[in-house]
């Protein structure tokens, strides 16, 4: 089957993000009779996979179970067996992006939380004083995953007037170069259409502090009907009513939302390049320092310090940058280098996906 007809044959998966590129990646597995699908939930060695024929439960033991980075996770595209008891996931397709967090084990290892996320929605409440440092931390995490961050300023109805709101938006925009900043109100519905348009074309996750309004946003994006569909009969149910909690749901206006408890409380982990993107203006200034390894402490010819003196760069920004860099270095020092190399390879090597798929296949069946 050509990969174009492969795409068409499974077009029922389009609301879950199935596209021609995934069909191309899946193509090597089609001759084995395997089915493409997207993982909507994982649970102790089992996962629920949305296929064109509906949800199937599958065992993940086949996919290198001893490496926490290489376990199947919500958002993965997989090749699953058409049947069997148990039915196995044979492999996952190379990830476009991934959210990872550190585990509290002695050997600090990453844990994969969600894969193939396009938009990271960072919810920030306008009901409390803006904490720009916290916004920066979530943005670092978002950039590091490979997803495009979007800051959503929630509870805009609680801001007394339009001028104040405009100021708040501007403050966050200055803190977040390259990131759309959208004020929304779940109460009045303001801004929700813009948000729907921004996240409509891909897979999104919700990040942010507890109380920031993530659940409320999820309900607004998904609509009541979709939340009810959470409890549905799975394709293997054969008349039994099995309920499936889904951590990945298709939004009625298009796009997919991944919402897992683990992701909500995620920390900063190996996000060095993410930190650089959050503070792109500082990194930009740093390129003009006299010394290329300038620490921007008290070196002569430091462009960063000059920008602070002239008022161009707020001192708070530099402090926040230093804090996140230090925090990141501590975490990185604890992290197994091999593992980090592997994470990078996993999704930064998009060009070699075909080979990766073949390696995966050989590896599993050798």
Question: Which residues lie near Zn ion (CB under 5 A)?
Answer: 289, 294, 296, 302, 304
SS (H, E, C) 161-215: CHHHHHHHHHHHHHHCCCCCEEECCCCCCCCHHHHHHHHCCCEEEEECCCCCCHH
Min. distance of Cβ 294 from Zn ion in angstroms? 3
CA gyration radius for the chain? Answer: 22
What are the tokens at 342?
A: 């592997």
- Min CB(139)–Zn ion separation in Å: 22
Shortest Cβ 187–ligand GDP spacing (Å): 4
Closer residue to ligand GDP in complex, CB, 25/247: 247
Closer Cβ to ligand GDP, 69 or 226, answer by number: 226
Rounded Cα gap, residues 108 and 105, in angstroms: 6
Interacting partner of 281 out of Zn ion, ligand GDP, none (Cβ under 5 to 8 A depending on kind): none
346 conformational bin, left if phi > 0, alpha if psi -120 to 50, beta if neither: alpha
Q: How distant is the alpha carbon of residue 180 from its chain centre?
A: 16
Q: Please state the closest distance from residue 216 (CB atom) to Zn ion, in A.
A: 43
**Residue 216 interaction partner, one of ligand GDP, Zn ion, none, beta carbon < 5-8 Å per kind:** ligand GDP
Work out what residue 296 binds among ligand GDP, Zn ion, none; the CB cut-off runs from 5 to 8 Å by kind.
Zn ion
> Of 37, 87, 79, 84, nearest to 61 (Cα)?
87
Binding site for ligand GDP (CB under 6 A): 123, 154-155, 157-158, 185-187, 208, 210-216
Alpha carbons 268 and 274: distance in angstroms, whole number: 10
Taking the least distance from each CB to Zn ion, the nearer of 156 and 304 is 304
User: Which of 35/113 has CB closer to ligand GDP?
Assistant: 113
For 74, the token pair is 């919500």
For the bound state, the minimum distance from the C-beta of residue 184 to ligand GDP, rounded and expressed in Å, comes to 7
Closer residue to Zn ion (CB): 155 or 296:
296
Region of residue 332 (left: phi > 0; alpha: psi -120 to 50; beta: else): alpha
The option from ligand GDP, Zn ion, none interacting with 302 (CB < 5 to 8 A, set by class) reads: Zn ion
- Of 186 and 324, the one with the shorter C-beta distance to ligand GDP is 186
Residue that the structure tokens 């039915």 belong to:
87
Binding partner selected for residue 212 from ligand GDP, Zn ion, none, CB under the kind-specific 5 to 8 Å limit: ligand GDP
Q: How many residues would you count in the chain?
A: 366
For the CB of residue 294, give the shortest distance to ligand GDP in the complex, in Å. 40
The entry of ligand GDP, Zn ion, none near residue 294 (CB within 5 to 8 angstroms by kind) is: Zn ion
Partner in contact with 214, chosen from ligand GDP, Zn ion, none, beta carbon below 5 to 8 Å by kind = ligand GDP
Does residue 214 have a cis peptide bond before it, meaning omega lies within 30 degrees of 0?
no
Closer residue to ligand GDP in complex, CB, 211/301:
211
Helices (H) and strands (E) in the chain, counts: 13, 13
């Amino acid at each position: 089957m050509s990969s174009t007809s492969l795409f068409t044959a499974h077009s029922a998966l389009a609301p879950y993000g199935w596209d021609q590129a995934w069909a191309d990646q899946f193509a090597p597995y089609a001759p084995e009779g395997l089915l493409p699908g997207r993982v909507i939930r994982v649970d102790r060695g089992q996962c629920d996979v949305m296929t064109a024929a509906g949800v199937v439960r599958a065992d993940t033991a086949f996919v290198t179970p001893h490496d926490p980075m290489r376990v199947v996770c919500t958002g993965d595209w997989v090749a699953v067996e058409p049947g069997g008891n148990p039915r196995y996931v044979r492999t996952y397709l190379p990830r476009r992006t991934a959210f990872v967090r550190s585990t509290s084990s002695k050997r600090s290892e990453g844990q994969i939380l969600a894969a193939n996320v396009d938009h990271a929605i960072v919810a920030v409440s306008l009901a409390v004083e803006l904490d720009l440092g916290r916004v920066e931390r979530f943005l670092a995490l978002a950039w590091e995953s490979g997803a495009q961050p979007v800051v959503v300023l929630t509870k805009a109805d609680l801001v007394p007037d339009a001028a104040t709101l405009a100021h708040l938006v501007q403050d966050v925009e200055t803190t977040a170069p390259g990131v759309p900043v959208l004020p929304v109100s779940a109460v009045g519905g303001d801004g929700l259409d813009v948000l729907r348009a921004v996240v409509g074309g891909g897979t999104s996750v919700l990040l942010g502090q507890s109380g920031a309004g993530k659940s409320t946003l999820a309900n607004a994006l998904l609509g009541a009907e979709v939340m009810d569909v959470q409890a549905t009969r799975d394709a293997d149910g054969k008349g039994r009513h099995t309920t499936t909690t889904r951590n990945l749901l298709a939004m009625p206006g298009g796009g997919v939302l991944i919402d897992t408890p683990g992701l909500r409380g995620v920390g900063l982990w190996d996000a060095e390049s993410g930190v650089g993107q959050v503070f792109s203006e500082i990194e930009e200034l740093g390129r003009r320092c006299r010394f290329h390894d300038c620490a921007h402490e008290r070196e002569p010819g430091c462009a960063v310090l000059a920008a602070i003196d002239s008022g161009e760069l707020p001192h708070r920004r530099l402090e926040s940058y230093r804090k996140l860099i230090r925090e990141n270095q501590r975490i990185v020092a604890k992290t197994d280098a091999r593992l980090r190399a592997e994470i990078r390879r996993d999704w930064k090597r998009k060009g070699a996906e075909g080979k990766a798929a073949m390696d995966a296949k050989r590896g599993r069946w050798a």
